[in-house]
Amino acid sequence: MSAGPILELKNISKQYHGELALRDVDFALKGQEIHSLVGENGAGKSTLTKIISGVVSPTKGEMFLDGQLVSFNNPAEALQRGIAMVFQETSLIPSLTVAQNLYLGEEKLYNRLRGLYIAAQQFLQSLNFPVDPTADVSSLGAAQKQMVEIARAVHHNARIIIFDEPTATLTPEEKSHFFALVDRLRKDGVAIIFISHAIEEALAISDRITVLRDGQRILTEPAANLDRDKVITSMVGRTLSNELYKQEGKRVPRPYGRKVLSVQNLSMGKMVRNTSFSIYAGQITGIFGLIGSGRTETAKVIAGVLKRNLFYGGEISKDGERVRFRVPREGMKKGIIYVTEDRKLEGFFETMTIAENIQVHMLAKSSTSEVIVRRSRVKELAEKWRKRLNIRATSSGARINELSGGNQQKVVIAKGLVQQPEIVILDEPTRGVDVGAIAEIHQLIGSLADQGLAVILISSYLPEILNTSDRILVCRQGRIVEEFDADAVTEKMIMYAAVH
Amino acid sequence: MMPWLRSKVDNFIGSGDAALAVPPMDGALKPNRALDACKTGFAIQAPDDLCVWNGILLVSSGKGLFSIQRADAGVQAVLHRTYENEITAIAADAAALAVAFADGDILIEGGRHDGRRISLAEAGKVRNPTAVTFLGAEHLAVCVGSARYAHMDWQRDLLERGSSGSVWRIDLQTEASVCLADGLAYPYGIMPLGDGHSILVSESWKHRLLRLDATRPSSPEAVLNDLPGYPARLHGDGVGGAWLALFAPRNQLVEFVMREPEYRDLMMSSLAPAYWIAPSLRSRGSFLEPLQGGGVRQMGMLKPWAPTRSYGLVIGLDRNLQPRRSLHSRADGSRHGTTSCLASEDQLIIASKGGNEILFCDLRGQS
């Protein structure tokens, strides 16, 4: 490892729509170093690496590469200067071959596929990657896709490679292969930034570790000086969040109601692995897990958004009856709704009004196929929910994209609740929502449980899980690994279960 | 889809009855060490059923009926009476005691019908009483676990997916019996419900509790499904709820063997029952036995979450017959095979048939 930093960031801040994602962060990467970035979801890791790789520009601060002040307007500029980013979800084109992906963007006027394959074969062999250059990327496993991504970065003479959660979808064998590969890259002179929720992995392979929390750098230390406890304590120690979630007196968890949902040995691909748990009426069951832990996929399988494995995919029972939903509509009819974590992509039609969005979801529940929809009834329904959820808009005729994030989220929740569900799955319901709306959404979630509904709250934000849930399940590597009573658990215990 | 086709498809893709899925122990059933933590208890060979008769706590064990008495040195079991046949269930009301035997006879002691012996046995049919309870002073309700196999052969009945059990109402005056329900998969526990006309029955092989009309034949109504173990005896808790003992856990390997008839038949014909892949009341500590520990033993220590054939589990049910709390003896514990439990003031008295112990659990710390 060389002594001086090859990349240095000073006082970097980044603001998104008035909210600070990063605040005065200093970061330095030395040559031939593996530097891990760890922190909870929303701590600012991705924002920091996006700034380094030119995906976004900082609001404030400076970046130095080899001592020179630099500023990238796009990822291509960063790549030209030797900085490449390997995303968790690979950016490869699945319908093209490995070789075509490797040389994407360098196509000549006349391309001879055979020549491309020979060049790719030689290049992959020089890296000792056992990947067939003629294979379609869609046919590759997660580790092989990572290899192609890495090869592409090396092909562009990257001196700094950023890995975002590279091991989340890998099997243990693939992981060990990947770590050997990373070590080899370092020996070849590449500096590596490694983002991971797996603390043990970060401790094992890193030279130094930086912990981010609430957009601030908490510590940077050699990995040898750290242990898991110290890292976790740095990750979960609260400042701002304590203000929002401070408890006034001891909260008494709601008692178990009827068991309404039983998930038994559920499996879906590599993301949900033989997981089992129960959900009770009149309670908020919090599910905590880091990104890639499979909690969202589990929820989607329950609601019929995703399908479990056809062979030995496990069982889901609702009120003692086995259910298997092929589409979400079947789940809705059985009283299960899933409120998505990605409201912009999956939550609403942004060009439609509040009333139209709510009406669209009513169609899923309705057993009668009404040909004519009465506008007055749609409006009446939407106004009812607008008032009930305190959606701040001029009227229910307002377009969704005119609303703030918090009010958009309330519309998404209203779309679910309008179907009078028995089981409500809320996936990251307060992500990207302002502080005032967070409190209102939490109040709403509590009132749903008080009405006897079974509420599943998925969140990566520990204070939210701790202060809203009556019972907490922890998801890791595709399965529920721990269950806590809300009145006898600490943030540290939950995080330990999530990463250990 | 036609049932036979459904069954074939389920077997092929591993869904439905062939899913090999086992309900988790979570929520109110979250594992703990409460049974192993019970300090008071005393050793007795294979205690099976419990009841309180005339203020005396009785426990059945083999052919003997023991009374549990307090002594200077703690609690001790005093032999109350020995019978010719093995006792399979006992129950008491204010005055009378009912003792059921493996041969299908039921003996009444005390009360108006003192000395009456009622036989359930029929020609060509096994009568295997597994639980009894009084329905007032004049009637008795009896669970018959299996019409095919005797009490000792319960593993065989389970592996063959037996469903020849039944529940009977017997008039003690006339000895007339009415079948309240049949075709049940090993009914193993019974108690009258507070409404005065229903009874609660545990159907062991189907892992559920059923509500039955206590006065006439009726279709059973499932009130609690998908228990994570095999339920045994039920007793009221005195405040409208109940205590349910489960004598063994469900596990995926047993479920798998049960859906593979050729393997199962070969296993049952060529191995001693102790080594069958089947639920068990206890671990015999033999390296020959299947699964116990499931290989999760390190440096001689068995991990509590190891896959296991035997377990100790007692569940407290509320007025709505939903689990509220539970007491466990996990894979590394010894108080397994809990076949009966009885609430008495602030104590729960538990018969651990597999652990050869009677346990006294202080409930004040368990809520």
Q: What is the ipTM of this complex?
A: 0.85
Judge whether residue A144 has pLDDT over 90: no
- Mutual orientation of helices A142-155 and A172-187 as an angle, nearest 10°? 10
Residue B336: predicted pLDDT:
95
Q: Could A320 and B222 be called an inter-chain contact, meaning their C-beta atoms sit closer than 8 Å?
A: yes
Q: How far, rounded to the nearest angstrom, does the alpha carbon of residue B184 sit from its chain's CA centroid?
A: 14
With cut-offs at 50, 70 and 90, classify the pLDDT of residue B126.
low
Per the DSSP assignment, residues forming a β-bridge with B139 are: B135, B171
Side-chain half-sphere CA neighbours of A278 within 13 A: 23
pLDDT band for position A221 (cuts 50, 70, 90): very high
> How high is the mean pLDDT of chain A?
85
Q: What is the pLDDT of residue B236?
A: 94
Specify the higher pLDDT residue, A380 or B88.
Answer: B88
Does A246 score more than 70 pLDDT? no
Q: Which residues of A touch B21 (CB under 8 A)?
A: 264-265, 276, 314-315
Q: Is A75 on the interface with B (CB under 8 A)?
A: no
Type of residue found at B271: L
| Beta pairing, strands B165-171 & B139-144 | antiparallel
| Subunit contact B322:A310, Cβ cutoff 8 A | no
For residue B15, the chain A residues in CB contact (below 8 A) are 313, 315, 324
Judging contacts by C-beta atoms under 8 Å, the chain B residues touching residue A256 are: 27-28, 322-324
Q: What CATH superfamily classification does A259-335+421-499 receive?
A: P-loop containing nucleotide triphosphate hydrolases (3.40.50.300)
- Residue A90 confidence (pLDDT) above 90: no
pLDDT of residue B276: 92
Quote the tokens at residue A67.
């001592």
pLDDT of A451 above 70: yes
Exposed/middle/buried for residue B4 (C-beta within 10 Å: 0-12, 13-18, 19+): exposed
The predicted pLDDT at position A98 comes to: 92
A235 vs A432, more confident: A235
Asked if the domains at A5-240 and A259-335+421-499 fall in one CATH topology, the answer is yes
What dihedral do alpha carbons A115, A118, A120, A121 form, nearest 10°? 170
Q: What is the pLDDT, as a whole number, of residue B183?
A: 95
A210, A38 contact by CB (below 8 A): yes
Question: How many helices (H) does chain B have, and how many strands (E)?
Answer: 5, 26
| Three-state secondary structure of A283-347 | CEEEEEECCCCCHHHHHHHHHCCCCCCCCCCCEEEECCEEECCCCHHHHHHCCEEEECCCHHHHH
Superfamily of domain A5-240: P-loop containing nucleotide triphosphate hydrolases (3.40.50.300)
Q: What is the mean pLDDT of chain B?
A: 90
Residues 227..256 of B with a Cβ closer than 8 Å to A: which? 252
pLDDT score at A372: 75
pLDDT digits 0-9 by tens, B57-115: 999 999 999 998 877 767 888 999 999 999 999 999 988 999 999 999 999 999 999 99
Output the pLDDT for position A434: 64
Strands A160-164 and A191-195: parallel
* pLDDT tens sequence across A226-238: 888 888 888 877 5
Q: In whole angstroms, what is the distance from residue B77 CA to residue B196 CA?
A: 34
Asked if A348 reaches chain B (Cβ–Cβ under 8 Å), the answer is: no
A391-428 residue pLDDT tens: 877 788 888 877 777 788 889 999 989 888 999 999 98
pLDDT at residue A61 above 80?
yes
Q: What is the pLDDT of residue B292?
A: 59
Least confident of A299-303, A339-343, B213-217: A339-343
pTM of the model: 0.75
Tens of pLDDT, residues A5-48: 899 999 999 887 666 788 999 999 998 899 999 887 667 888 89
What pLDDT does A229 receive?
80
Q: Would you say residue B302 has pLDDT above 90?
A: no
Kindly list the domain boundaries of chain A, sorted by start residue. 5-240, 259-335+421-499
Q: Is A483 on the interface with B (CB under 8 A)?
A: yes
